[in-house]
Amino acid sequence: MAPRPAWRGYLKLSLVTCAVELTNVVTHTERVSFRILNRKTGNTVKRLYVDAETGKPLEEDDEIKGYELDDGNFIHIEEDEIEAVQIESSHTMALDGFVDKASIQQIYLDTPYY
C-alpha cells in the first residue's frame, strides 16, 4: 500500500503555482489497527448517533455541529459557515528564497519527507 501524504497543498514560486505533497519517509502503515466486534456473533459494530432526550437514532441530514455556551445552550453551526472561516493560506507555501543547509539547525531536520 502506498504511503499517504502528511500534507497536501501548493508551492507558489512567483507567478507559478504547483500542487505538492509531503510524505513521511518513515511511515506508520505497519501499525496494527483493530475493529470493534460483537463478542457473541463476531460481526462488526456500527456506531449510531442517537438523540440524548428521545433516544431515537438520527439520520445524517439531521446532524449538525454545535458550540456549547456557558449557560448550557448551543449555537448551531452549519458546514458552510465552517468552510467560510477556514484559512486558505494554510495549504499554500510561498517560496521567498534559499538558504545554505549549514545555516539550518539540526533540530529542524528530525523528520525526513519526500
Residue 93 near residue 10 (C-beta atoms within 8 A): yes
> Which pLDDT band holds residue 96 (cuts at 50, 70, 90)?
confident
Please tell me the distance from the alpha carbon of residue 45 to that of residue 60, in angstroms, as a whole number.
Answer: 18
Average pLDDT, the chain: 84
Q: What pTM value is reported for the model?
A: 0.41
pLDDT of amino acid 27: 60
The CA-atom distances, in angstroms, between 14 and each of 95, 100, 108 are: 8, 21, 26
